[in-house]
Structure 1
Amino acid sequence: MFSYCTDPAALDGLAWFSCYLTTGKHMSIYYAVGTVLLLLAITAPLSLAFGFGGATAARSQILPLRWFGNTYIAIVRGVPDIAFFLFFVIALDQAFEYLRHRIKCPDWEAEVWQGNDFIVCAAAKLPLGNAPQWVHETYGFSLAVLTFAIVFGAFAANVLFGAMRAVPRGQIETAEAYGMTSRQTFWRVIVPQMWVYALPGLSNLWMVLIKATPLLFLLGVEDIVYWARELGGTKTPQFTDYPHGDWRMWYFLALLVFYLGFTKISEVVLDRIMARLTHGQAAAAGEAQRKAAA
């Protein structure tokens, strides 16, 4: 990147490190950090949406909808994350390709499933074989986001379901006494008050989501853990202009600092959100604030 990096063999000290840390390979790990942050930024609200939908379905008075919500929560929470990530992405990818295959290749006569092979016509492939590299990467990232959202949405649904039930029954009965319908009671009484009960569980879920980002590698996305292992391994002069020994310990130490710093910032932000939500409410945290102010 720098003008003095033309001859790495003539460099030493800080100049060598400045050139080493700005090579094309190292740009990949910086890009991977952005990928992780983008994943969290998209997955968190999407998981919350899945969770809210699952919790609402689980408490529905419509029996099939209630069965669906409870089944979603039970099955996804009961399956180990790594097994779900390995199986679900393949199944989801094949489901998309199968639907495209039925639409785009109606005259296809051969079986789609041939033993252990899943074969569809070229036009049904996702993405297409001649698609640019960024399309392949975007598709893989989208599958990762959807998988993370479904998995963590089930845990969020369980948290939100408990939070909805934690809203004092007396307030719901008061709303009903004022003539509110079940829909009005849900949106005007339960939903505004449930967040104070849900936030501790959602905070823990956010921390788990941060720690789960290395699972991106299982979904074919090259994350920061992958690049830390790749770049930190021993490099000889035959393979690079910047040879070095086994530096994986230092790379993983940098990841440790990154994750600890990120979780600390998250704790500070979540504490402030909790203080704002509980301000003036007759909950445990709100009562503690009242006594502190007195």
Structure 2
Amino acid sequence: MFSYCTDPSALQGFEWLSCYLTTGKHLGFYASFGTVLLLLAITAPVALAMGFGGAVAARSSILPLRWLGRAYIAVVRGVPDIIFFLFFVIALDQGFEWLRHQVKCPDWDQPIRQGNDFVVCAAAKLPLSSSPQWVHEVYGFSLAVLTFAIVFGAFAANVLYGAMRAVPRAQIETAEAYGMTPRQAFRRVLVPQMWVYALPGLSNLWMVLVKATPLLFLLGVEDIVYWARELGGMKTGAFSYPHPDWRLYYFLGLLVFYLLLTRVSEVALDRLMIRLSHGQATLSGEQQRKASALDGAA
């Protein structure tokens, strides 16, 4: 990185530390923080969309759709996250390759399951062996995002389902009495009001999602936990920058990062709650109304 970093063995003090912290592996470590934030930025809305779909299905008047929505919520919530992550990534990968195999290699005459091996033709592999490294990384990250979204989407569906039931039924009946169709009442009355009931549960779910991001390490993605373990481990004289076991300091840095992230999340969610509660017939909304009335009287 710096011109004086050509001979690490001749460096001491600040110069050694500045060269050590700007190696290619450390740049990968810094980029992995962006990987975690990108995972959260993509997974949160996708999981929320899946949760909304699951909640709508769970309260549907169509029996098979209602069974499907409730089964999705019950099955995913009933399986420990770590087991689901380890199983589902493999299942998704093999499922995609199996579908590609059926399309690209219809003349294949060998069994796909050969003992403990899953064998498909070369054209069906995902990604292809000839693909550049970034394609392999994007594919692995995409599988991780999809797995996170499915798992946390089930929890979001349960929260949203409860929030929909918390909206007073009288409001829906009033909307229908004014001539709204059930679909219009759902879109214009139920959905806008359910968020104030759902936000506390969704806030907790967001915090759980933040704390679950180290599971990326188990899914083969080079995240901050992977790099902290690799860089913090003891390095001998065989390495350019030998040092003792510094994992404590690296993981302490991760602790500070997650504490800051959760604190920023708490502030943002509190402000969002205040905004959603404005004008609502809830305890928070009533407190805002009383505060506005006192300010006006003063």
Deviation at 1:15, TM superposition (A): 1.9
Alignment match, 1:284? 283
Mapping of residues 197-208 of structure 1, within 5 Å: 197-208=197-208
Q: Is 2:79 the counterpart of 1:83?
A: no
User: Secondary structure of 1:66's match?
Assistant: helix
CA root-mean-square deviation: 0.9
Deviation at 1:11, TM superposition (A): 2.1
Provide the identity percentage.
78
Alignment match, 1:266? 265
Structure 2 CA distance for aligned equivalents of residues 257 and 288 of structure 1: 35
Deviation at 1:26, TM superposition (A): 0.5
Letter in 2 for 1:261: L
Structure 1 CA distance for aligned equivalents of residues 12 and 210 of structure 2: 37
CA deviation vs aligned residue, 1:148-190 (integer Å, no higher than 9, x gap): 0000000000000000011111111101111111100100000
Letter in 2 for 1:265: V
Structure 2 CA distance for aligned equivalents of residues 120 and 11 of structure 1: 52
Q: TM-score normalized by structure 1?
A: 0.98
Structure 2 CA distance for aligned equivalents of residues 7 and 106 of structure 1: 57
Structure 1 CA distance for aligned equivalents of residues 144 and 104 of structure 2: 25
Alignment match, 2:28? 28
Q: TM-score normalized by structure 2?
A: 0.97
Gap regions ≥5 residues in structure 1: none
Structure 2 CA distance for aligned equivalents of residues 114 and 232 of structure 1: 40
Deviation at 1:292, TM superposition (A): 3.2
CA deviation vs aligned residue, 1:198-236 (integer Å, no higher than 9, x gap): 000000000000000011112110110111011001111
Structure 1 CA distance for aligned equivalents of residues 6 and 291 of structure 2: 63
Gap regions ≥5 residues in structure 2: none
Alignment match, 1:147? 147
Structure 1 CA distance for aligned equivalents of residues 8 and 132 of structure 2: 33
Letter in 1 for 2:183: R
User: Secondary structure of 1:22's match?
Assistant: coil
Moved more, 94-103 or 2-11: 2-11
CA deviation vs aligned residue, 1:76-118 (integer Å, no higher than 9, x gap): 0000001100111111111111111010000011111122111
Structure 2 CA distance for aligned equivalents of residues 96 and 6 of structure 1: 46
Structure 2 CA distance for aligned equivalents of residues 287 and 15 of structure 1: 60
CA deviation vs aligned residue, 1:6-57 (integer Å, no higher than 9, x gap): 2222222222211111001111111111111110000000000000000000
Deviation at 1:263, TM superposition (A): 0.4
Alignment match, 1:71? 71
Alignment match, 1:48? 48
